Amino acid sequence: MQLKDYFKFNEVLTYYFRKKDPSRPTSINLKLMHGINKISIIIFLFCVLVILYRFLSRL
C-alpha cells in the first residue's frame, strides 16, 4: 500500500453526504446507529487534530 491510500476520506465524506435510498427499510435502531457512528467519527477526527496540534507545538 502506498501512503496516499491511507489518507482517503471518500468513505467518510460520502457517509455524511449521501442521499437516502427509499428502497431500504428504516427503523429507529438503524437511525440511532448511524447517528452514533456520525458522532463518533467527528469526535475521532477532532481528537486526531488535537493530538497533531500538541505534537507539532512541542517541536
Handedness of CA 1, 3, 50, 37 (dihedral sign): negative
The pLDDT assigned to 14 comes to: 78
- Percent composition of the chain: helix, strand, coil (DSSP 3-state, to 5): 70, 0, 30
Beta strands in the chain (DSSP E): none
The pLDDT assigned to 1 comes to: 67
| 21-29 contacts at long range (C-beta below 8 A, 24 or more positions apart) | none
The pLDDT assigned to 54 comes to: 97
Q: Give, for all 59 residues of the chain, the pLDDT tens digit.
A: 677 777 777 777 777 777 887 888 889 998 899 899 989 989 999 999 999 999 999 98
pTM of the predicted model over 0.85? no
